Chains A and B, each alone.
Chain A
């Protein structure tokens, strides 16, 4: 071996050995387990905005290797066994009726235009050019079949469509929907991929596992659960143009150290979810960088207002005074996310022109003396212990401890219990103050205020745990979901959120970011706020708004 080579190798080895302990420690503490899609706190990291500056002309060809954090289980639009890891891939293989642009606005995909709701009815017109990979036209019958199958087969999508009373197919491209009651957010429910009836009916259990026929820009060529999924760009895509990429391979790699290693060695071109401790490692790679963007996640600390001390507004206000959330989020969340001030994510609030600045200034600064006064005026006994429960996510644990420390500083005891997610789901909604006074959870939904407010906060909402029962608040949320005028709905949501802030129903904590490590030769990749739209490899069909841009990733090598 030439001496120079030996010296190089020796230097590399010593460098490796020296850094192993340090980086290894980071890797160990940053394990990001796969989470269920309802436990919506990702371990992603933040920082730079999209780095998609194109240095040369887009070209057709190339095979992109993408490391997911977990494996899809199936790719069937009717089922949802694999959670977000499956949906990410379904969005490339199947076209939805409606989709979202990067500003979270609804845009037509299979639909000719966004339907107009009239009372509890609307008519859906499909693009007559839309075809499946097998050449068959996408018809209204396929849409009806897909949506109805979710209810008949009792999949987790059933709750989205259970409000649909009938779907009458008028012709190949027209379907008339009648709802059991007026429900404006139904348009977000139909932002759902469509399966070909004739193919899926033959073998419903094998569809999405052995058989894949969609109408999206990519076709599945190989599906091995927990090993890899390979897709080919569909040359005959019916939308605007076709994908530049010849092939995309998705590999599930759960361990973040391993994902970063695969990016470094070039075995992967893009890796999803960069934990904070690896942020600089990826940035320091000479041939890779991090792209980042906010997601639609709402992480919060909720108060049990069913009974106990937290049912008193002054106590909730006092706890708001106990903690410096800006500091806690700076310390524990950034660069993987940032502070949030309302139950509606900032991108949705901006799209609806809501007064974010006003809400930002409505939350209290840390003031222990004021907190003590409020606790005292509320008549909180000296021996009160605030029970805070939190699931296993590290970020939430750290913020929960910050809140507990603040309460202790104000002279009361506070205990943080770490629970696994299933136990957490079993306990957070008990309403029993001896078990829970506060709980920390996350929520991610489609970019529509109703999805963040009604299900989470209305007294009849499906994810009820705080039992905030304000008649005006409930009335506003119920009225907004049946009001078709957007301006009227906006006013209702603003009033409702004002009540939410005033009464301190939750302490809104933070949003998480979507982040990816990307080799420099991968061009045109951006993050999309709807987490399941990532990797946003092809989105030209979404480019129906003049002020938004689509996406068509290509390889500059």
Chain B
């Protein structure tokens, strides 16, 4: 089976997953106490007013009717209208999506660029001080909540040292006139980098710690294999062994953990965006839940589901690139 056919097959398999996500979410939000209309109109609204508003927004219809209508509309790309914001859900998601994607990309770039070298060095110098240091860093990274790291960074680098901005994220394509103190696109990019540093570290530390632990253990395993010992017996330099013979083979577990970390990073983005006041998908989903904005909860949950599906698909496809022995069902 070719990569393309496999990809298409996996995408088709994702459809029932997404239907499952929408069904469960739809049922759960309808099982929540209260209703968006009651939240919108306040506790003193009369029953007549609540009934009229429920009719206006279609909440007076049976749940299965509303669900079928939602699915049919969603298939046509219409995720409904946010009762809180008064705009289409897709508009709101598209508005916030680039911010979260930039934050995720930045945090993964940070995590991988630190974790992989750290894991390799740690494995090559097993039980030496650098290994102990690396393990301590990983342990702290894994066990510290990202909002806590974010707060500490704000207090040290924002409040006391005053070297980094703690509020918001400047997007690279923001008009120059809207960025304080910027006179050129380069200034805007500098502001983007500066505003990304703390949120990136806060969000990426968990990924960095998790990946570096896996990288270390995976490298240790590969470096202990017979073919590596054989290479050593032939007098191949340790750096060459690591780079040419061990590294690639050690990356399969790392790729798996990166795929799984995508979902935890999305969850972490909710907290990171709140702490740093970043206007992304994370804060949108919080607002949706607080206001019981059904359409917005459905839309953002569906988006998170799609991201998860894409993450696992990319993980599977990367396997084949890293290890030619990996074959897909039916492939010759």
**Are B290 and A257 in contact (CB-based, < 8 A)?**
no
Q: Is B71 an interface residue (CB 8 A)?
A: no
Q: Is A327 an interface residue (CB 8 A)?
A: no
Set of chain B residues within 8 Å of A54, measured between Cβ atoms = none
The CA-CA distance from A20 to B162 in the complex, in Å, is: 14
**Are A156 and B45 in contact (CB-based, < 8 A)?**
yes
**Are A265 and B33 in contact (CB-based, < 8 A)?**
no
Q: Is B275 an interface residue (CB 8 A)?
A: yes
Which residue of B has the minimal Cβ distance to A419? B33
Set of chain A residues within 8 Å of B283, measured between Cβ atoms = 226
Mask, B32-59, CB within 8 Å of A = 1, is 1110001111111110010011001000
The CA-CA distance from A23 to B49 in the complex, in Å, is: 47
Interface residues of B in 147-161 (CB under 8 A from A): 147-148, 151-152, 154-156, 158-161
The CA-CA distance from A33 to B32 in the complex, in Å, is: 20
Set of chain A residues within 8 Å of B195, measured between Cβ atoms = none
**Are B290 and A34 in contact (CB-based, < 8 A)?**
yes
The CA-CA distance from A427 to B33 in the complex, in Å, is: 9
Set of chain B residues within 8 Å of A422, measured between Cβ atoms = 32-34, 39, 292
Set of chain A residues within 8 Å of B85, measured between Cβ atoms = 73, 81, 225
Q: Is B279 an interface residue (CB 8 A)?
A: yes
The CA-CA distance from A54 to B38 in the complex, in Å, is: 46
**Are B46 and A159 in contact (CB-based, < 8 A)?**
yes
The CA-CA distance from A34 to B290 in the complex, in Å, is: 9
Listed stretches A11-19, A373-381, A483-491; interface member: A11-19
Query: How many A-B pairs with Cβ below 8 Å?
Result: 140
* Among B38, B43, B152, contact of A24 (Cβ-Cβ < 8 Å): B152
Q: Is B277 an interface residue (CB 8 A)?
A: yes
Interface residues of A in 260-280 (CB under 8 A from B): 260-262, 264-265, 267
CB distance from B285 to the nearest CB of A (A): 13
Set of chain B residues within 8 Å of A205, measured between Cβ atoms = 86
The CA-CA distance from A144 to B160 in the complex, in Å, is: 54
Mask, B150-182, CB within 8 Å of A = 1, is 011011101111100111100000000000000
The CA-CA distance from A37 to B41 in the complex, in Å, is: 11
Q: Is A258 an interface residue (CB 8 A)?
A: yes
The CA-CA distance from A20 to B151 in the complex, in Å, is: 9
The CA-CA distance from A251 to B167 in the complex, in Å, is: 10
Q: Is B84 an interface residue (CB 8 A)?
A: yes
Interface residues of A in 150-189 (CB under 8 A from B): 154-156, 158-159, 162
Q: Is B276 an interface residue (CB 8 A)?
A: yes
Set of chain B residues within 8 Å of A24, measured between Cβ atoms = 148, 151-152, 155
Q: A73-B85, A253-B277 are in contact. Are A38 and B42 (CB under 8 A)?
A: yes
The CA-CA distance from A275 to B33 in the complex, in Å, is: 30
Set of chain B residues within 8 Å of A13, measured between Cβ atoms = 156, 160-161
**Are B159 and A255 in contact (CB-based, < 8 A)?**
no
**Are B34 and A159 in contact (CB-based, < 8 A)?**
no
Chain B interface (Cβ < 8 Å from any Cβ of A) = 32-34, 38-46, 49, 52-53, 56, 84-86, 147-148, 151-152, 154-156, 158-162, 165-168, 274-277, 279, 283, 290-292
Chain A interface (Cβ < 8 Å from any Cβ of B) = 9, 12-13, 15-17, 19-21, 23-24, 27-28, 33-34, 36-38, 73-74, 79-81, 154-156, 158-159, 162, 205, 209, 225-227, 251-255, 257-258, 260-262, 264-265, 267, 422-423, 425-427, 455, 462-463
Instruction: Provide 20 A-B residue pairs closer than 8 Å at the C-beta atoms, listed in order of the A residue.
Output: A12-B160, A19-B155, A20-B160, A23-B155, A27-B154, A33-B290, A81-B40, A154-B56, A155-B41, A159-B45, A159-B49, A162-B49, A254-B277, A257-B151, A257-B159, A258-B277, A264-B162, A265-B158, A455-B44, A462-B44
